[in-house]
């Protein structure tokens, strides 16, 4: 039975969709069967995986009862489009609306090792559905002044879902995403998060780079497009696997990290530098600093 991890944020621009895409890539290369669920009407995750825009059915049809989840999976992605906004309106009038995604995923969880759910950049009904369906919740945060406030708001919704609808929901932690740690502002944001949430803040920090946008535009995994940067996500995948007790892929994730670091070094030697300056260096294996 797959573990379900919902990735959420109170606002856009925190790298949430990139996190889902790249974690999926890491775990798949480590031999895991991963289903990605796009629960954002903008459909950015679906675009990132190059799901055809006319793919049918989608998660919108699943939530409104017009299709089974298994019928709506395209290349291990349960995609979304703008029709999901209409589906959310229909869903709001249904009894037990918060349980809809949880019920729908029962049909497919046995076919996967891991399900990653990408939420919209808001804390509404779709996000609540994602939390009720999840075993674990991962919050992404930007390295900015209001990061603490955004995480606290997300945590309130997580606690609401746990107290009323999903008592087994685990808040696995918060990851600082797309951060330029050369900036005092970013370092202050990280210090605030660690002061407030302690060990719930992931050791791994995802570096900011325009290459993420470039890889998304091309529909290419950052693991292939910029291996140096992808080392960050290999570290995050390792840290997350330990936190949710997903032990099987750990050895292969370590090997993947090594391969990415070597590929990045080789590209730099050829003059095609990837990643960011030394101030934004990635952690060493297993989260050591």
pLDDT per residue as tens digits for the range 35-55: 999 999 999 999 999 999 999
Confidence of residue 246 (pLDDT cuts 50, 70, 90): very high
pLDDT tens per residue, range 144-174: 877 788 899 999 999 999 999 999 999 999 9
Give residue limits of the domains in the chain. 3-287
**Is pLDDT of 272 > 60?**
no
Can you read off the two tokens belonging to residue 269? 């030697």
The predicted pLDDT at position 279 comes to: 37
In this prediction, residues 258-270 reach a mean pLDDT of 86
Q: Please give the DSSP secondary-structure letter assigned to residue 12.
A: S
pLDDT at 271: 67
Cβ neighbours for 1, distance < 8 A, ≥ 6 positions apart: 109, 110
Quick: pLDDT tens for 128-139. Answer: 999 999 999 999
Please give the class, per CATH, of domain 3-287.
alpha beta
Binned at pLDDT 50, 70 and 90, residue 95 comes out as confident
> Which of the 8 DSSP states describes residue 112?
-
Cα 41 to Cα 115, 128, 138, 252: the distances in Å are 19, 15, 20, 34
Output the pLDDT for position 201: 97
Average pLDDT, the chain: 90
The answer to whether residue 91 scores a pLDDT higher than 60 is yes
Q: Put the strands of the sheet holding 114-118 in their side by side order.
A: 77-78, 34-38, 114-118, 3-8, 136-142, 170-179, 201-207
Share of the chain above pLDDT 70, in %: 93
């Amino acid at each position: 039975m797959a573990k379900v991890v919902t990735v959420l944020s109170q606002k856009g621009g925190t790298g949430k969709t990139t996190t889902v895409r790249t974690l999926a890539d890491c775990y798949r290369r480590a031999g895991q069967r991963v289903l990605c669920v796009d629960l954002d009407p903008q459909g950015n995750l679906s675009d990132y995986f190059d799901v055809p825009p006319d793919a049918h059915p989608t998660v919108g049809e699943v939530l409104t009862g017009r299709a089974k989840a298994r019928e709506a999976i395209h290349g291990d992605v349960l995609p979304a489009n703008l029709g999901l906004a209409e589906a959310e309106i229909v869903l709001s009038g249904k009894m037990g609306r918060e349980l809809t995604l949880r019920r729908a995923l029962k049909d497919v969880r046995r076919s996967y090792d891991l399900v990653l759910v990408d939420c919209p950049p808001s804390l509404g009904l779709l996000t609540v559905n994602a939390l009720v369906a999840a075993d674990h919740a991962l919050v992404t945060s930007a390295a900015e002044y209001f990061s603490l406030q955004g995480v606290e708001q997300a945590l309130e919704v997580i606690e609401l879902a746990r107290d009323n609808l999903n008592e087994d929901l685990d808040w696995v932690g918060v990851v600082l995403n797309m951060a330029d740690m050369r900036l005092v502002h970013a370092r202050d944001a990280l210090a605030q998060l660690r002061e407030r949430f302690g060990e719930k803040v992931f050791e791994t920090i995802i570096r900011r780079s325009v290459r993420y946008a470039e890889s998304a535009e091309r529909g290419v995994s950052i693991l292939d497009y910029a291996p140096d940067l992808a080392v960050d996500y290999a570290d995050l995948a390792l840290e997350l696997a330990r936190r949710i007790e997903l032990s099987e892929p750990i050895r292969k994730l370590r090997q993947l990290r090594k391969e990415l670091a070597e590929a990045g070094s080789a590209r730099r030697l050829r003059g095609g530098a990837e990643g960011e300056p030394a101030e934004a260096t990635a952690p060493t294996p297993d989260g050591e600093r």
